[in-house]
Homo-oligomer: A and B are copies of this chain.
Amino acid sequence: METLTPALACRHFRVQMSTSGPTEFIDITDRLQQLVADASLGIGIVNVQTLHTTTAIVVNEHEPLLLTDFRAMLEAAVPDDARYRHDDAALRTVNLTADERRNGHAHCRALMLPTATALNISGGRLILGRWQRIFFVELDGPRDREISILLFGEAWR
């Protein structure tokens, strides 16, 4: 008779996506639940990290009008049409690219939101409350984007 013993499991994934608007909330909950299920992790952590400086990873309710409220709040807190020195071609000398975007507002909004969010796994599933959904947040789209996902925990094998 063999006895199952817990073993360390550690997996890294990259996921690509394309956004379609300037500010967009993309629900990635189902994709993350599938990765957790495939990894056969009983208990552990998943760390979801965006790889861009004008995006974020947040958790909130997936209700379309609420997402509109979020967009309005970000616009009110950090207006699109304010003056950002990052966008001043007469001043900028650092990190300039051929296709430079006017996106100071998007960086400032990203500073207010998490670059990465760690969520708990138990019973082989992401632990989420009734209304909790995980969103990739685009703040300077449309763009092609990529996130990094690290699963870490105890697997039975």
Quick one: which of A104-125 are within 8 Å of B by CB?
Answer: 104, 107-108, 110-122
Residue A94, interface by CB 8 Å: yes
Kindly state the separation between the CA atoms of A107 and B148 in the bound complex, as whole angstroms.
26
Identify which of B70, B95, B116 contacts A63 (C-beta below 8 A): B95
Q: Are B107 and A60 in contact (CB-based, < 8 A)? A: yes
Q: Number of copies of this chain in the oligomer?
A: 3
Residue A21, interface by CB 8 Å: no
Interface of A is mostly: mixed
Residue A32, interface by CB 8 Å: no
Residue A58, interface by CB 8 Å: yes
A119 nearest CB across to chain B (Å): 6
Residues of B within 8 A of A117 (CB): 114-116
Q: Which one of A63, A66, A70, A84 has the greatest number of beta carbons of chain B within 10 Å?
A: A66
Kindly state the separation between the CA atoms of A44 and B148 in the bound complex, as whole angstroms.
12
Q: Mark A118-134, 1 if CB is under 8 A from B, else 0.
A: 11111000011111100
Residues of B within 8 A of A104 (CB): 66, 69
Other than A65-B86, A66-B86, A120-B150, give 19 A-B pairs with Cβ distance below 8 A. Answer: A6-B10, A11-B43, A12-B43, A43-B150, A45-B47, A49-B127, A52-B131, A60-B110, A62-B94, A63-B92, A65-B85, A65-B88, A69-B84, A69-B85, A69-B107, A70-B108, A70-B111, A116-B117, A127-B148
